[in-house]
Structure 1
Amino acid sequence: MKLGLLILCCLIPATGTFGQSVVDNPLGDPSNPLVALDEASAALMGEGAEGRSRLLNILLMLTVLTLVPSVLLMCTCFTRVVIILGLLRQAIGTQGLPPGQVLTGLALFLSLYAMAPTLERVWSDGVQPFVSDEQPDYRVAWTNCERPMRDFMFAQIDATGGWSALYALLEHRGMDLTDPTIVAYDDVPTLTLVPAFMLSELRAAFIVGFKIALPFLVIDLVVSSILISMGMMMLPPVLVSLPFKLLLFVLVDGWTLLSVGILGQVADPLSSMIGGFG
């Protein structure tokens, strides 16, 4: 009994010491995750207007990154390029070759190559001044980024002759177009310009796709006629015409020819007419 009381008396001070070490863990201890979170928040927020500006820049950059895929599809020549490449694959008749990922990647980099001057203007006029706090107003930064993209879209609409789609959308909004020459480019809202641009890109892509499909259609017709005249009606013409179509495409260096042709169709926004509709 006395031995048990002696052991209990020895354990009581040790327990108090351990409890005190846990309770007295200082708030500033780096091992405390709450302190680490507090310090991270303070680093982001900073002090005063400078910290709020830094946090706002981060939020805006994250928002822009989420909108990049939509901008890529709607405001660049990516739509035209990927549709032309898809129609080429259908015309040759190779089914899943080249794979969709390959065509999408090729369309992406061709679009970036064609859009390089416009994207450089977007960066130098809008993004860089805003990030470096030369122009902290995000509304001005948005306008500076929007202007090069609008110039590009107007240039493509003018080059592809897609004014009819833009006129139809403007008339649907109630704008008087009895004399289109008095309507300035700045009078066209961006929300109207973007769908008009996409419609003009679809029109241009299908026109190019039709021109690409014609030679391969001729090969299919010739092969079908020969097979019918030979009485080989049970043999699918695609099996015979596919090697000839591939041979024709390789002999004319089709990939290079098509890529250069697509890039040549993209109009330079700096040389487009800025003013009223012509």
Structure 2
Amino acid sequence: MRIVLGLTMLAVLPALLVCVTSFLRIIIVLSMLRQAIGMPQTPPNTVLIGLALFLTMFTMSPVLQKVNEQAFQPFMAGTLSVQAAYEKGSAPMREFMVRQTREEDLALMVELSKAKPPQSMDDISNVQLIPAYMLSELRAAFQIGFVVFLPFLLIDLIVSSVLMALGMMMMPPATIALPLKILMFVLIDGWSLLLKALVGSFH
């Protein structure tokens, strides 16, 4: 039974990583940063995914530790049944998702599922909570991405205006703007600022 459950978990692990952890917000923001700078292929996808995985481990470590102590270790020791281990293991994950989820998104999922209005969070099933959590993560990621885009957009506008004022209309603005954006990002230590903001955005 343990081997079957282990193989099943490995099969659904990528979906769980995207649906119930902080990975979704982090990878979207990192991808939007790459687009804002103007280098769609740099850093490569492997680098962004690896960085997002480690940041996910940092943000989710308290939750994963609770799951390990309350559910996984007792189940492996044989002191918990499968159902009890699932309930104890899902409780810390639900608590984390509820903290990040907006009430509007939860209400939308309850409405779409045509379920009865819940009286408490215990009445909300995972089928309703997980998509609501994903919607909230998408919203938060796009909000952060919008803020990330602004300074790079400003550089593009300034470069375009200067080139037009100089009469250099045939010169592609991206040719000059790209090194300026990279220089600005390096000078302000952009990676550290962005990663700190990302990790700090989870509560």
User: Cα offset for 1:183?
Assistant: 2.3
Computing the radius of gyration from Cα coordinates, the structure with the larger value is 1
Residue among 163, 179, 184 paired with 1:243: 179
Q: With structure 2 as the length reference, what TM-score do the two structures score?
A: 0.97
Secondary structure of the 1:107 match is helix
The answer for the alignment partner of 2:95 in structure 1 is 151
Match of 1:173 among 97, 104, 113: 113
Q: Cα distance, 1:197 vs. partner?
A: 0.5
Q: Distance in 2 between matches of 1:80 and 1:193?
A: 16
- Of residues 131, 145, 165, the one that matches 1:195 is 131
Paired residue for 1:207?
143
Higher RCO (Cα < 8 Å, 6 or more apart)? 2
Q: Find the counterpart in structure 1 of residue 46 from structure 2.
A: 101
Aligned counterpart, 2:66: 121
Q: Cα offset for 1:64?
A: 1.5
Cα displacement string for residues 77-101 of structure 1 (whole angstroms, at most 9, x for unaligned residues): 1010000000000000022111111
Distance of 2:28 and 2:147 partners within structure 1: 13
- Superposition deviation, residue 173 in structure 1: 2.6
CA separation in 2, counterparts of 1:237 and 1:210? 21
Q: Distance in 2 between matches of 1:257 and 1:152?
A: 24
* Whole-Å separation in 2 of the counterparts to 1:165 and 1:191: 13
Give the match's secondary structure for 2:168: coil
Partner of 2:28: 83
Give the alignment's TM-score, normalised by structure 1. 0.71
Q: CA separation in 2, counterparts of 1:90 and 1:183?
A: 43
Letter in 1 for 2:133: F
Question: One-letter code of the match for 2:111?
Answer: E
Match of 1:36 in 2: none
Q: Which ranges of structure 1 fall in alignment gaps of 5 or more residues?
A: 1-55, 268-278
Which aligned runs of 4 or more in structure 1 are off by greater than 4 angstroms? none
What does 1:13-92 correspond to in 2, within 5 Å?
Answer: 56-92=1-37
Aligned length in residues: 203
1:65 aligned counterpart, secondary structure: helix
Structure 2 unaligned spans of 5+: none
SS at match of 1:72: helix
Instruction: Find the counterpart in structure 2 of residue 219 from structure 1.
Output: 155
Percent identity for Structure 1 against Structure 2: 44
2:37 partner letter: I
**1:21 alignment counterpart:** none
Q: Give 2:131's aligned amino acid.
A: P
